[in-house]
Amino acid sequence: MAVMGGGKTQIIANTASISNGDNIVSYLSDAAGTLLTSTGGKLDVYPASTFGEDSPHVSGDLGQLILAVRNDGGTALAGTDGDYIALTTDNVGRLYTLSTIPTGQNFTKVEDSASANADILAAIAVVRKDSAGTLVSADGDYAAIQQNAIGELRVIQKSEIAVLQQVITVGTTAVALPTTSLSNRKSLMIQMLSNGNLYVGSATVTSNGATRGVKIGNGGYVTFDVGPAPIMYGICDGASKDVAILEMS
């Protein structure tokens, strides 16, 4: 049983309702009605710290401090389903949350490791950048993949490194044009410089028949957007013809 004290120092209790052995607790307040603590100080009373759903934030609102338990092992602290449980963190304060990645899966893969069926990977995001240009400040920095204003992925479409030109003598046997490609080649131009015709194609190209290549007459040329790996071959309808090669990387 608790008995509330009066406004000053007198404590009034209904002794008719008190039985032998009952506990009686008195609360004292000063003349202003402020509750007095056992140490003689005033008990601070704060406004409510609970708020209705969708209520707006107001500067100076008071709230409850939520504590978490450091739990280096990441093990459960509750006994059974339905128990109250404290929020837990790792040793640097990161809050443990439920992972949605299936057990055994990993977003990182070792170089040259083979892909496996049902591997889970992260989606790659790109940055829209209407005007071509880098997004980083220095050579060697990590950079984001970019797209243009209509969603096309930005890739290198022009030569930026080197140019190589040479003249190759071509006859009635197919030869490589050129023998060794420019490193990081992006484009190749082949021009016939002599009288007669040049035929361009694969290593089995001929100057007639079903395997005849692309025909280029005197002064004519053909260009290819091609990397360094594919090798173009040429054969002429006569001996010792001059063929110009221009490569860019």
The 10s digit of each residue's pLDDT in 56-111 is 988 888 888 888 999 998 887 877 888 888 889 999 999 988 766 555 667 788 88
Residue 224 tokens, joined: 């290819």
> What gap in Å lies between CA 172 and CA 39, rounded to an integer?
113
Which stretches in the chain have pLDDT values below 50?
Answer: 1-11
Average pLDDT along the chain: 82
DSSP string computed for 178-206: SSSPPTT--EEEEEE-SSS-EEEESTT-B
> What gap in Å lies between CA 113 and CA 119, rounded to an integer?
12
**CB under 8 Å to 37, separation ≥6 — which residues?**
43
In the chain, the amino acid numbered 9 is T
CA 219 → CA 64, 94, 132, 204, 247, distances in Å?
Answer: 85, 71, 36, 24, 18
Residue 196: what pLDDT?
A: 95
Q: In what order do the strands lie in the sheet with 163-170?
A: 163-170, 241-248, 187-192, 221-225
**CB under 8 Å to 203, separation ≥6 — which residues?**
174, 176, 231, 233
**CB under 8 Å to 194, separation ≥6 — which residues?**
218, 236, 240, 241, 242, 243
CA atoms within 13 A on the CB side of 76: 8
**CB under 8 Å to 2, separation ≥6 — which residues?**
24, 25, 27
> What gap in Å lies between CA 223 and CA 245, rounded to an integer?
10
The 10s digit of each residue's pLDDT in 224-238 is 988 888 899 999 999
> What gap in Å lies between CA 135 and CA 147, rounded to an integer?
12
Residue 239: what pLDDT?
A: 96
Residue 142 tokens, joined: 């990590």
> What gap in Å lies between CA 98 and CA 121, rounded to an integer?
18
